[in-house]
Chains A and B, each alone.
Chain A
Amino acid sequence: MEFEAVIGLEVHVQLNTDSKIFCSCSTAFGNPPNTNVCPICLGMPGTLPVLNVKAVEYAVKAALALNCRINDISVFARKNYFYPDLPKGYQISQYDKPLATNGYVLIETKGGQKRIRIKRVHVEEDAGKNVHGEGNDPYSYVDLNRAGVPLIEIVTEPDISTPEEARVFLTKLRTIMRYLGVSNADMEKGELRCDANVSIRPKGSNELGVKTEIKNINSFKFVAKALEYEIERQILVIKAGGRIEQETRLWNASLGITETMRKKEMEHDYRYFPDPDLMPLVLKPEMIEKWKKELPELPDKRKARFMEDYGLSSYDSEVLTSEKAIADFFESALKFYNNPTAIANWVTVELMSRLNREGIEIVDAPIEAWQLAKIVKLVEENVITGRVGKELLDIVWKEGGDPEEIVKKRDMIQISDASSLEVVVDEVIKECPAEVEKYLSGKTKVIGYLVGQVMKKTRGRANPQFVTELLEKKLSELKR
C-alpha cells in the first residue's frame, strides 16, 4: 500500500519590536542574563501587564499578509503551567478568540502552485530560557531576558503533503515576515520556531490518521529531515501491523530521529481562561485599514509584477522576489540600466552564486546595484565580453570601484576590429598544426580548442562567437 502524509504546522514568529509585549523592557538579543528584566516580566507580586500597541500592529500586519480575517475583538487568555522559565506560572496568549483567522499562503511546488490554509494567528508572550550547568555544575539557571518578547503563533490547516512543501512554506513565511519588517524570522536564532503535526494515511484516502506532534525542529536544514524521518517511522509502524500513538515527539538533530517526549495521557491541561488583567483587544476598522495601507508590496504581488512589467520568467521572478533585499537590489539596478532580462540573469546567476559561496546576505555584499548595472551594461553593449564581465564582477567584489574605469585602466575592452583579431587567429593556426590537421580531416569539434587559444591570447577580450566565425573562415580557406 502507498501512503501519503498529512502535515500541519504551528509556527512561532518573534516580532522585532523594541520593547516587550507587556512591559517596557528592551528586547535586545545577546545581553547578559537577566538584564532586560523588570518586576513585570519577572512576574513579581502585584505587577500587571500593559499591552504594547506596536506588537499588535506587527501581529495584525503579519496576519493581513497571510490573507487572514482580523477579528475586531480578540481575547487574551492565560495558559497555565509550571516551568522555571515561565515567571508567572502562566503564559499570556490567546485561545478561543484569536487575533486573526482563515488565511492562506501560496507556495510554489513541483506540481505547481499550492494554497496552504492558515487556521489562525494569535499574539502571545515568549518564555525565558533555562540554561543547564555544564560539567560538574549540578544547577540549572534561568535567564528571563526573553520572557515577554512578543510572538505570533501561526497555525496551518493540515494542507501540507510533503516535507519539501513544509520547507517551502516556512521559507515563504520567512520571506513574508522579512518583507513586512516585523521579524527577521531567522530559525537558527529562534526567531522562527516550528512544531509539526504529522499523520499518514493510505494514498487517496480522506480520513485522517492519528497524529504525532514533532517539537524542537529549530533549523531550516532539519525541517525536511525531521518530517521525512517521522513519516517513514509511521509507515514502518503501520506496515509492521502496529498503531500510531498520539504523542509529542522531540526531533533529535544529532541522531537524526524523533523520540517520544510525552504520551497523550501526560499532556498538560493548560486550563485556559480569559486573562482578567487585560481588556479584550478591540481593533477598530479604521485602525486595521490604516495598517493595511502601510503594508509593503508582498512577494506574490511583486512576483506577478516582475513577470508582467519586466517580461521575466516565473522562475526568475520567484527567485528575485524570494528576498525583499534581492528584489530591491534588482529594481534599483534597473534604474541604472534598464535591461530587466540581462540584469535578472546576472543577479540570479552570478550575484547569487557569489552570495551563496560566501554565505552572506545581499545587504552585506560588497557590491552595489549601480556597479552591477554598469557591468551588465558593458557586457550587453559589447564593450567587454561576458567572460571579462564575470572577471570584472570579481574585481569589483574584491576591490570596489567604478566598473567603467576599471575596464579602461586594465585594458579589458573587447577586441572587436577584425584586423587585429585576424593577426591572433593566424598565429594560433600557425602554432597548432596538429589541431588544424584534425579539423581539416573532418574532426571539426577541435575548433573549440582553437577558440580557447585565441581567447587565452586576448585575455578573454575577444568575442568568442566572432572568433569562431573567423577561424572557420580561415580554416575553410586552408582546405581549399
Chain B
Amino acid sequence: MELHRLTILEARNLLEKGEISPSELFGAFLARIEKVDPLIKAYITICEKEIEDIVEKRGKLYGIPIAVKDNICTRSIRTTCGSRILENFIPPYDATVISKLKKEGAVIIGKTNMDEFAMGSSTENSAFFATRNPWDLERVPGGSSGGSAASVAADLCVASLGSDTGGSIRQPASFCGVVGLKPTYGRVSRFGLVAFASSLDQIGPITKDVADCAYLFSIISGFDPLDSTSYPIESEDFTKYLGRGVKNLRVGIPEEYFALGVDREVKEVVLRAVELLSGEGVEVLEVKLPHTEYAIATYYIIASAEASSNLERYDGVKYGFRVGDYRNLDDMYVKTRTFGFGKEVKRRIMMGTFSLATGYYDAYFLRASKIRALIKRDFDEAFRKVDVIITPTAPTTAFKLGEKLEDPLTMYMSDVLTVPSSLAGLPAMNLPCGLDSNNLPVGLQIIAPLFREDLLFTVGYVLESLVPFERKEVPLGV
C-alpha cells in the first residue's frame, strides 16, 4: 500500500495499530510533494518542520498530514492569501479550525495556493503561480481553493481545508474529482480565516471520500465564542450518518440548474447518478428555484461590497507589504495597494466601492440584499417538497489555463451553480460522479437545508458507492 494513497480513516487505522508512524507517513508525503508538486504547484509553503510540534498524541487526527488553504491563519507559518500584500505575513495566532486540528494531533503539511484573497475560479489569480489540475496539467484545478483540491487529488496530503464564498471549495473539488463540503454558514468558525466576503465565507474540508469529509467536518465544526456569526450548537460525530438508508428520501432536481449554459456531458453524467440513486428507493421530484438567474449578479455585488471594506486594512501601515518610495500618506496608500493587489482584487474592490457609494447603495447593495432574501425563499419553498437538491456543481469540467483569464464575466459564470446556495447560507457538497469524454471528473452538488449536513453525508455516501468514479491515482496529465 502506498502511504500517500491513504484516506484519513485508513491512515488512522494503520497508525493506531502501530503499523506506521506519524513521521513515516509525513516523510512519505514530503517525498511525494518533492516529486510531484513541481508539476502541480499546489503549495505556496511546505511545512517540513511541523511534524516536530505535534503535542497531542491521542487525538482523532494524530499524525495525519493536512494541507491548509493559505487564507487560513497559522501561527508562525506564513499566510499569504495568495497576495503580494501579505507575502511575508506571519500570523501570531491560529485560526480556530487550526487550533482544533492541532488539538486532535493533525500535522499541517503545507499552505496551499489560491486565487488572491479567494477571488477567482481557477487559481490563476494567485500572485505567485498557477496551480495545475492533476487530471490534466494543461487545465486549471478550479478555484479559489485550487491548491487544496489539487493537493488532495494528487495525493500530496491526506486531506485539506479550503474556504468557500461562492463555490471556492465545491468548484475546484469538482474539477479535481474530490469531495468538498461547504458547511452551513455559521457552522464552522471564521476566526482566523482572512475575510473576503464575511456574510458568505465558510471553511470546509476537501477529502478523498465522503467518510473522510464527515470525519474532518466533525472536528472543525461547532460554536466558537470568537466568531459572533458562529451558530451556538456544538459539533457531533457526523460519521454516524454514513451508511444510513436513503429509501423514501425525496431528491429535488431544479430545472434552472440544467439550463444556464451547462455542458451537455455534465448534465448527462449528473442525471445518470440521480437515476442510480432512484434505484435505491429515492423519490426524484422537480423543484423550482426561479430566482437562480439573478444569483450571479447578486453575489458579485454583495461579495465585492464586503470585500472592498474587508480589504481596507491592507494599507501598508501595520503589517504586510508597503512600497519603499512614496511622497506622503496618500501616495503610500495608493502605491502600496496598486502594487500589492492583483488585477482581479482591484476590480472587485472598485465594484464593491461603487455599489456602496452614496447614490448607488439603494440601487445595488440594497437591492442585491433583497434579491438574496428571495433566493433564500426559493430554497425554503423547495425544501418543503424535498429533503435534498441535486445539481451539477459547475457548468463544465476543468477548463484550460488561460482560457477564461481575460474574460472575467465568463469566469464568473463558472460559479453560477454554487453561488445561490452560498447566498442562502445552505450546506452543499461536491461529489465526483463520473468522467466526461476528456477523462475529466464531473462533479455533482448535493444541497441540504440549513444545518442538515447529515443528509449530505447520508446521500453522498450512498451515491459514492453507486457512481462510475474510481478513486484512483490520478494520471498526472499523462
Contacts and interface: CB of A to CB of B under 8 A. Distances in A.
A212 to B, nearest CB: 20
B439 interface: no
Nearest to B359: A269
30 contacts: A43-B318, A44-B93, A45-B81, A45-B195, A45-B313, A46-B71, A46-B73, A46-B79, A46-B191, A47-B192, A49-B228, A50-B227, A50-B228, A78-B309, A80-B308, A84-B315, A84-B317, A87-B317, A89-B311, A89-B313, A90-B309, A269-B357, A271-B356, A271-B357, A271-B361, A273-B309, A276-B197, A276-B199, A278-B228, A279-B228
Contacts of B190: 46, 48
A277 interface: yes
A279 B185 CA distance: 13
Q: Output the residue of A47, A49, A271, A272 with the most chain B CB within 10 A.
A: A271
Interface in B179-232: 190-195, 197-199, 225-229
A51 B191 CA distance: 14
B191 A48 contact: yes
A401 interface: no
B305 to A, nearest CB: 6
A455 interface: no
A89 B357 contact: no
Interface stretch (B60-68, B84-92, B415-423): B84-92
A39 interface: yes
Interface in A119-155: 142
A263 B333 CA distance: 22
A88 interface: yes
A82 to B, nearest CB: 6
Lowest 6 A-B CB distances belong to which pairs? A89-B312, A276-B198, A276-B199, A271-B356, A45-B194, A46-B192
Contact of A279 (B79, B193, B229, B317): B229
B356 A39 contact: no
A45 B79 contact: yes
Given A46-B95, A48-B227, A142-B317, A82 B312 contact: yes
Given A88-B312, A273-B361, A39 B228 contact: no
A277 B229 contact: yes
Interface in B277-330: 305-306, 308-309, 311-315, 317-319, 329
A277 B198 contact: yes
A84 B312 CA distance: 11
A124 to B, nearest CB: 15
Contacts of A89: 309, 311-315
B338 to A, nearest CB: 14
Contacts of A51: 228
Interface of A: 39, 42-51, 78, 80, 82, 84, 87-90, 142, 269, 271-273, 276-279
Contacts of A276: 197-199, 229, 306
Interface of B is mostly: loop
Contacts of B228: 48-51, 277-279
Contact of B356 (A44, A50, A84, A273): A273
B29 interface: no
Contacts of A39: 91-93
A30 to B, nearest CB: 22
B358 interface: yes
Contacts of B365: 273
B445 interface: no
A46 B163 CA distance: 13
A83 B72 CA distance: 26
A43, A45, A84, A142 pick with most chain B CB within 10 angstroms: A45
Contacts of B393: none
Contacts of A273: 305-306, 309, 356, 361, 365
B353 interface: yes
Contact of B358 (A43, A44, A78, A269): A269
B198 A45 contact: no
Among B227, B315, B358, which residue has the most Cβ atoms of chain A within 10 A? B315
Residue of A43, A47, A84, A142 with most chain B CB atoms under a 10 A cut-off: A47
Contact of A46 (B193, B197, B333): B193
Contacts of A45: 73, 79, 81, 86, 89, 91, 194-195, 313
Contacts of B225: 50
A269 B353 CA distance: 10
A87 B226 contact: no
Given A46-B73, A46-B190, A88-B312, 17 more contacts: A44-B92, A45-B89, A45-B195, A46-B194, A47-B192, A48-B229, A50-B225, A50-B227, A82-B333, A84-B317, A87-B318, A89-B311, A89-B314, A273-B305, A273-B306, A277-B195, A278-B229
A82 B333 CA distance: 8
B353 A82 contact: no
A411 B25 CA distance: 97
A309 B329 CA distance: 62
Interface in B78-106: 79, 81, 86, 89, 91-93, 95
A82 B328 CA distance: 14
A272 B308 CA distance: 12
Contacts of A82: 312, 315, 333
A51 to B, nearest CB: 7
Contacts of B194: 45-46
Interface string B158-176: 0000000000000000000
Contacts of B319: 44
A277 B193 CA distance: 12
Nearest to A85: B317
Contacts of B91: 39, 44-46
Interface string B217-251: 00000000111110000000000000000000000
Residue among B73, B194, B306, B312 with max Cβ neighbours from chain A (10 Å): B312
Interface string B323-346: 000000100010000000000000
Contacts of B353: 271
Contacts of A43: 313, 318
Nearest to B199: A276
Contacts of B356: 80, 271-273
Residue of A84, A87, A276, A278 most packed against chain B (CB within 10 A): A276
Contacts of A142: 317-318
Contacts of B308: 80, 271
Interface string B48-68: 000000000000000000000
A90 B312 contact: yes
Contacts of A47: 93, 191-192
B195 A46 contact: yes
Contact of A271 (B95, B199, B309): B309
Interface string B436-477: 000000000000000000000000000000000000000000
A80 B349 CA distance: 13
A328 B8 CA distance: 69
A45 B89 CA distance: 9
B286 to A, nearest CB: 34
A405 B52 CA distance: 78
A87 B317 CA distance: 8
Contacts of A279: 228-229
